Structures are given as structure tokens and as C-alpha cells.
Structure 1
Amino acid sequence: MTHLLKKNLLSLILLVLLATALWLVLRPTAVAAPASAFLLLDGSVRHTHDFQGKVTLVNFWATSCTSCVAEMPALAATHEKFKSRGYDTVAVAMSYDRPEYVQHFAQSRQLPFDVAFDRDGSIARDWADVRATPTSFLLDPEGRIVRRYVGPPDMARLHASIEKLLPSPD
């Protein structure tokens, strides 16, 4: 090899090593989900720590949000598809929604997952100050946020992410 070729090859190797080191340091890491108490429509309360051991989608939505209403059948189907493998969904209605609208929506659509109402907006504030709906957070079994979706998620990608986090089917 010529001297110039050796020098270029060495430079390339060093550049790849540096890029790898930077990626390891700067890569996004999962952060713990905020500690929250979710007041469900039936009056019971679920806490963030209740999600431990399950892959969970926390979805912020509103009955006045057309995208939210449109994505609900897909979220319900996703819940049904994966629930037997340790997947859960909690839909959190925004504080500006009317409780009776949320109750009617959940009952009339027979949503198969828990629906909570964020009465004072504190849950949305705790979860990265959610203002746009729909916004969803995918949690791993350790209760860490691994994905955030602003707007309706691409369902194929969501399913792929869920599959990676769940144990293999028997």
C-alpha cells in the first residue's frame, strides 16, 4: 500500500471509531415515565408504577380531536392484539374535554382499555407538557418512555416497537 492510502485508511478507521463513541455517548436513552395517578372513568385510580412489567401505551386525546377519534379503533385493535402478551393501553382525556363526553365516547365505542380523565391538566403537564393531541408515549416493561408519538402513530411501526418490547409469543 502506498503511504497516502495507508494514511487515508487510518483516518477513516479513526473517524468511524470517533463516530461510534459519539453515538454511544449521545444516543437517546429511555427516561422513566413520570409518577402519575390516573383517575379512571369508573372512579378507580391507576398509578404509573402499575405499568411495571407491561409494555404500555399512554395516549393523550380529546373527544374534540378528529385525529384522536379516528385513531381509537386502531388503538383498540392494537390493545386486543397484544394484551395477552403483556401489553396495556391507557387513554388520558385532556382537561378541556367534558367528562360526560369522554364517558359517552368510551362507552359507545366499548373501548377495551382504561380511560382516564385529567381533571386539572396536571398529568399532561407531567408528561412533557402535552398540549397537542393525540400524543402517545410507549413505555417498556421497566416503566421507561421509549417512544413519543405526536399525532397518530404509524400503526405498523408502533406494532413493530411493541413486538420488540414484548416477550415472544408461545
Structure 2
Amino acid sequence: MSSQTPSPEHDTPPVSSGRRWALRALAGAAGLGGLYLGVRTAPQAPAPAAATPAAALPPAETELWAASFERPEGGDLRLADYRGQLVLLNFWATWCPPCVKELPELAEFQHEFKPKGWQVLGLAVDAPTPVREFLKKLPLDFPQGMAGLTGAQLARTLGNSNGGLPFSIALGRDGHIIWRKTGATSLSELRELAAKTV
């Protein structure tokens, strides 16, 4: 009986179990490497936009709280110092009869409602000398700032589109505008505002 010798092209040496395990491990590592590169080079989804904080202010209110004005007696009136309070901000001028008429009522509102958390602030849309002279004749017990033309522009951004005076806004403790009025206000109207505001 003759024996046949296998031809060299079909002669495959047996693979040991240890070598088989090493080959499988190498193939698995190559597959994982390809998966990693695919993930790294795939287009990344955009990150979700950050939620807007509840207390975020629109640009006009942000500009308002950043504003600072010279006081008639010297020093600065920084509106940011009053953030967190209920603020009644009044734009006025010495040449404006309705402004002059309402100033004593604003002073009375300040006296009556300061213990309840309100702060009245005045911004004179006027030249410094007339403001100083006016306040010598009619002292007011709430802070004043000399705003000039800057004050007129600020009032427009806050909703006083026609530029009329007086112009008043109320700001809540969170810094947002909660009330505005162009034209003279009255103590009774301000009392109603305060009654509705926590």
C-alpha cells in the first residue's frame, strides 16, 4: 500500500490553542481600535444650549443696572447698589412743570414705603447747575443722579419712545421692570402700585 505525501501548498501546520487565543485577542483589539477611531472622527453633535437663567435680564435692563451718575452733592449714584430692592426710578428735569409738581409726591411715597422695601431714585435729564440750584430750593430726601442726555437715551431704551418727561419705572427685586409710565404720576397711583407688589 503506498502512502501519499501531502503537497506543500496544502500543508498547514496545526495551530495551538494558545496561539489561537492570541490571534483572536489581536483581532478583537484591532476591531476595538477601529471602533474608537470611528467614534473619534465621527461628527460631534452640538452641545445643547445652556438654559437661560430665570433672572436673566434683557439688554435694556442690564444697561440700566450697570449705569452710574454723578450726584449733585458729589460722589456717584450707582444703580447696582439698589439691586434686590423695589425701586421707583423717576426721570425728570427742572424745566418740566409736571416733573416739578410730582417730586413732592415722590418724596412722600419714599417716606411712606421705604420701611416696606421701596427706594425712590431720581435721574435729572438736565444740566448740572440748574439741578443743583433747584435742589437747594426744594431738597428731596431720596437719591438723585445728574443724567443729562445720557439719561434721555437710557429712558428711551426702557420704553419712553417719545422722550416725554416725567417718565417713571418700577423695578422688582429680581431687577425686571414691573411698571412704567410716561407723564406725571400721583401718590394715590403709586400706593396702588405698592399694594400690588410683594
Q: TM-score, normalised by structure 2?
A: 0.61
CA distance in 2, matches of 1:100, 1:117: 10
CA distance in 2, matches of 1:125, 1:144: 19
CA distance in 2, matches of 1:40, 1:163: 30
**What amino acid does structure 2 have at the position aligned with 1:163?**
A
The aligned length equals: 134
1:54 match: 85
2:103 match: 72
Distance 1:72 1:154, change over 3 A: closer
1:162 match: 194
CA distance in 2, matches of 1:90, 1:155: 15
Q: Deviations over 1:63-86 (max 9, x none)?
A: 110000111111110111111222
**What amino acid does structure 2 have at the position aligned with 1:93?**
A
- Mapping for residues 1-170 of structure 1, pairs under 5 Å: 33=61, 34=64, 35-94=66-125, 97-119=126-148, 121-129=149-157, 130=160, 131-166=163-198
Q: Deviations over 1:19-67 (max 9, x none)?
A: xxxxxxxxxxx96732311221122223232221211111111111000
Instruction: Give, in angstroms, the shift of residue 112 of structure 1.
Output: 0.5
Q: Which has the higher contact order (CA 8 A, sep 6+)?
A: 1
Sequence identity (%):
29
Distance 1:102 1:140, change over 3 A: same
Q: Unpaired runs of 5+ in structure 2?
A: 1-56
Q: Flag the structure with larger Rg.
A: 2
Q: Once superposed, which parts of structure 1, at least 4 consecutive aligned residues long, lie more than 3 Å away?
A: none
Contact 1:136 1:149 in 2 (8 A): yes
- How much is the aligned-residue C-alpha RMSD, in angstroms? 2.0
CA distance in 1, matches of 2:145, 2:83: 18
Distance 1:147 1:100, change over 3 A: same
| Corresponding residue SS for 1:142 | coil
